[in-house]
Amino acid sequence: MNFQSDGIRLTASGVSCVRGGRPLFAGLSFELAAGGAITVLGSNGAGKTSLLRMIAGLLAPAEGTIELRGGPGSVGEAAHFLGHLDAVKGALSVSENLDFARALLGGGGASNEIALARLGLNALQDLPAHMLSAGQRRRLALARLLAAPRLIWLLDEPTAALDAAGKEVLIGMMDEHRTRGGMVVVATHLELELEDAREIFISNGRAV
């Protein structure tokens, strides 16, 4: 499905971040349009996660604003956030986890079969999630992105725990999402091949 996102912009102006009393970066601004992507680079602890959490609305910026211009609600309501933790409930089965994600974040996306097949998990559908390996849990978290369609994808080190095949699938997913009008913001300390992506580099208290 395509997002009706032509006039929508994700904008940040003058955003600064202070964590544990330490300033991580200040004065960051960007604008992201439909189909666009941003890669956030920097070493561990630089502030990449904080930036993503600020965009999602999970963390308040010390200064500045982040908003979805032309969009119906807040950024958080239009975003997927994939953090270091997978948000997978071990006591539920793989498909129960996906069903819950759909109920929580909105349905209308790929069915469980399709989403899990794309990520190579459909043999494990009814398995309790606590039996999955770290890589499989990561892929289950990614399946969420397909099952519940949302405009903005905020991915924090999504390739962690993924093997080469998994990375391929992820890049494919991101490209398709952008083709459909979605937006992607990826934080990574490695290079990730994304076409036409603006790069934000956070290091030593500055963001460029």
Residue 30 or 81: the one with the smaller Cβ distance to another protein is 81
Residue 95 or 197: the one with the smaller Cβ distance to another protein is 95
Residue 142 or 197: the one with the smaller Cβ distance to another protein is 142
Cα 66 from chain centre:
16
Select the residue interacting with another protein from 26, 33, 92, 127 (CB under 8 A): 92
Select the residue interacting with another protein from 80, 138, 177, 178 (CB under 8 A): 80
3-state class of 131 per DSSP? helix
Cα 118 from chain centre:
18
Select the residue interacting with another protein from 85, 133, 191, 195 (CB under 8 A): 85
Residue 49 or 197: the one with the smaller Cβ distance to another protein is 49
Report 23-62 residues binding another protein (CB under 8 A). Answer: 53, 56-59
Stretch that binds another protein, among 9-17, 95-103, 110-118, 178-186 (CB under 8 A): 95-103
Select the residue interacting with another protein from 77, 117, 120, 169 (CB under 8 A): 77
**Strand locations in the chain (E):** 9-19, 22-33, 37-41, 63-69, 79-82, 152-156, 183-188, 197-203, 206-207
CA angle in degrees (0–180, nearest 5) for 183-33-157? 30
Residue 17: name the closest of 41, 49, 56 by CA: 49
Phi then psi dihedrals of residue 140, to 5 deg? -65, -40
Residues 6+ apart with CB under 8 A from 53: 59, 81, 83
With beta carbons less than 8 A apart as the criterion, state whether 173 and 159 touch.
no
Report 112-171 residues binding another protein (CB under 8 A). Answer: 128
Residue 101 or 121: the one with the smaller Cβ distance to another protein is 101
Number of residues that bind another protein (CB under 8 A): 33
Query: Which chain residues interact with another protein by CB under 8 A?
Result: 20-22, 53, 56-59, 73, 76-77, 79-81, 83-92, 96, 99-101, 103-106, 128
